[in-house]
Structure 1
Amino acid sequence: MRKLTFGMNLSLDGYIAAPGDDIGWSVPSDELFQWWSDRVAETGLALYGRKLWETMNSHWPTAAQQPGVTPAEIEFARRWLDMPKAVFSSTIGTVDGNARLVTGDAVAEITRLKAEDGGPLDIGGATLAAAAMRAGLIDEYILATAPVLVGGGTPFFTALDNWVNLTLVETRTFPDGVLLTRYETRR
């Protein structure tokens, strides 16, 4: 069975985006950016909700050609383009690049993908991750918590019907005071 991980940058008060989808506060240090890039290189399949897909796909396919691009950004762009992706949406008709569109029941498809052989699965996008979280499908949570309070916006965690017990498996401090914590779900 494949492992499903939900990880994102978030504010200390638990938001992945401030009101108005503002993520300006979450620009990672070079070291944290490299950590995320290495995760992308290890991902067997990334599962994206529409909004996160549109954000990532509007930048990374052409990032390597932008003025002032760094070697780390070029490496991330290559890794991101090479990584297989499944985009879950009922409002868009097509996706491009190394992605396929999933329009049906997200929980059923994620359950099916987890049962397949292959590399680890990463899930991104608040709505999609919330559905997987409520269904008990997430095996690991990665929180890169920035020392900022944004006061509202898009929460990392969704409301749950039942408790989810977790085991802390890693903590690491990055420059700028970002604390990375990884938790595995106790089953």
Structure 2
Amino acid sequence: MRRLTVGMNLSLDGYTAAPGDDLGWGVPSDELFQWWSDRVGATGLALYGRRLWEAMNSHWPTADQQPGATPAEIEYARRWRDMPKVVFSSTTSTVDGNARLVTGDAVTEITRLKAGDGGPMDVGGATLAAAAMRAGLVDEYAVVTHPVLIGGGTPFFTALDAWVTLDLVETREFPGGVLLTRYATRH
């Protein structure tokens, strides 16, 4: 059975994006960017909601070919392109690159994918991650908390039907007071 991780940048007050989908508060240090890149390199399958897919796909397929691209950006772009992806959307009609589109029920498909063989899966996008959380499909939370209060926007955690008990498995501090906390779900 595959493991499913939700990995997300988060403001201290619990948001993944400020109003207007502003992500300017979460610009990573070089060290944090490398950590995210290493996660992409180790991911067997990435699950994306439509908005996150559109944001990532608008930049990373050609980021390594842009003037001034750093070695870290080049590495990330190549890893991102190579990583298999599933995009969940009821409004998108096509996806490209190393991705396939699922227009049906996300929870049913994620459950099917988890039961299969393969490397670890990451789920990204607040709405898709919330559906996986509510369905009890998440095995690990990798929360990267930035020391900023943004006061509103897209919340990370969703309303749940039951408590989810977690075990702390890792903490790590990054430059600028950014803190990684990884928690495993007790099943």
What letter is aligned with 2:46? A
Aligned Cα RMSD in Å? 0.5
Structure 1 Cα separation of the partners of residues 7 and 122 of structure 2: 8
Pairing of 1:33-182 with structure 2 (within 5 A): 33-182=33-182
Which residue of structure 2 lines up, in the alignment, with residue 12 of structure 1?
A: 12
Give me the whole-angstrom Cα distance separating, in 2, the residues matched to 1:160 and 1:152: 20
| SS state at 1:145 partner | strand
Which residue is equivalent to 1:23?
23
1:119 is paired with a residue of what secondary structure?
coil
DSSP-derived class of the 2:58 partner: helix
SS for the counterpart of 1:92 is: coil
TM-score by length of 1: 0.99
Q: Distance in 2 between matches of 1:111 and 1:180?
A: 27
| 2: CA distance, partners of 1:85 / 1:19 | 27
Q: Tell me which residue corresponds to 2:2.
A: 2
- Deviation of residue 68 (structure 1)? 1.6
CA distance in 1, matches of 2:149, 2:68: 30
* TM-score, reference length from structure 2: 0.99
CA drift of 1:66 comes to 1.5
Separation of aligned partners in 2, 1:178 and 1:66: 28
**Partner secondary structure for residue 184 of structure 1:** strand
In structure 1, the gaps of 5 or more residues are none
How far apart, in 1, do the equivalents of 2:112 and 2:40 lie?
21
- What is the Cα deviation at residue 100 of structure 1? 0.1
User: Matched residue pairs, number?
Assistant: 187
In the alignment, the residues of structure 1 paired with residue 112 and residue 164 of structure 2 have an alpha-carbon distance, to the nearest angstrom, of 22
CA distance in 1, matches of 2:156, 2:62: 28
In the TM superposition, residue 69 of structure 1 has moved relative to its aligned partner by: 1.0
Q: Distance in 2 between matches of 1:16 and 1:62?
A: 25
Question: What amino acid sits opposite 1:47 in the alignment?
Answer: L
SS in 2 for 1:59: coil
> What secondary structure does 1:107 align onto?
helix
Tell me which moved more, 128-137 or 63-72: 63-72
Distance 1:133 1:57 in 2: 24
